[in-house]
């Protein structure tokens, strides 16, 4: 009986919907499109706790898995930092992202071959840091989800923000004649 109670509890907890995205950052917040200047860390520290949002909880489980895989790719490659190509490589393992490229007529093998040129070799199993580009990608994915009125941040928003943040990835996409 105890087993079935625990099993029932775990099933219910796995189906709890994550927090939903908010379209504004608190009362009196300026919409994302109208913000001309990115606030500094000192400005962020001045924001009250009530107005701060933890966007990490808004990432879908499959998107979190992609981010974890990107970190593991960087670690296995011996990279000192996690870069946008690591996230892009991890995105290519997701079936939703794969289906996007299949619809565009792009083979995953072709993309992975082009991505190999962007990775730097280092010492295997080193602890990579998170680059500033990755932080920007995470925030841009949040903004994309808010603008698309999504409840959570899906891999498609992460794909879009990753390509927007990295010029080498944009060049690869352009070379494959994708607009």
- Do 162 and 88 form a contact (C-beta atoms < 8 A)? yes
The span from the CA of 101 to the CA of 97, in Å, is 7
Q: Give me the tens of pLDDT residue by residue for the chain, a chain 179 residues long.
A: 566 666 666 655 555 555 555 555 444 444 444 444 556 667 777 878 777 777 888 899 999 999 999 999 888 888 888 899 999 999 999 999 988 888 888 887 888 888 887 776 666 667 888 888 898 999 999 999 989 888 899 999 999 999 999 898 888 888 887 76
Provide the 10 A C-beta neighbour count for residue 82.
23
126's tokens: 């080193």
DSSP 59-78: B-HHHHHHHHHHHHHHHHHT
Task: Count CB-CB contacts under 10 A for residue 13.
Answer: 8
């Amino acid at each position: 009986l105890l087993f079935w109670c625990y099993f029932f509890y775990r099933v219910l907890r796995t189906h709890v919907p994550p927090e939903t995205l908010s379209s504004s950052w608190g009362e009196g917040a300026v919409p994302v499109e109208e913000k001309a200047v990115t606030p500094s860390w000192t400005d962020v520290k001045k924001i009250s706790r009530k107005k701060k949002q933890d966007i990490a909880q808004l990432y879908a489980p499959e998107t979190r898995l992609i981010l974890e895989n990107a970190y593991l790719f960087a670690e296995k490659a011996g990279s000192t930092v996690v870069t946008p190509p690591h996230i892009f490589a991890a995105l290519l393992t997701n079936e939703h992202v794969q289906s996007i490229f299949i619809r565009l007529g792009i083979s995953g093998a072709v993309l992975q071959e082009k991505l190999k040129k962007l990775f730097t070799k280092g010492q295997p199993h080193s602890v990579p840091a998170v680059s500033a580009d990755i932080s920007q990608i995470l925030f841009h994915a949040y903004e994309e989800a808010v603008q698309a009125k999504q409840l959570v941040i899906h891999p498609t928003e992460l794909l879009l923000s990753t390509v927007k943040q990295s010029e080498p990835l944009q060049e690869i996409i352009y070379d494959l004649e994708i607009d």
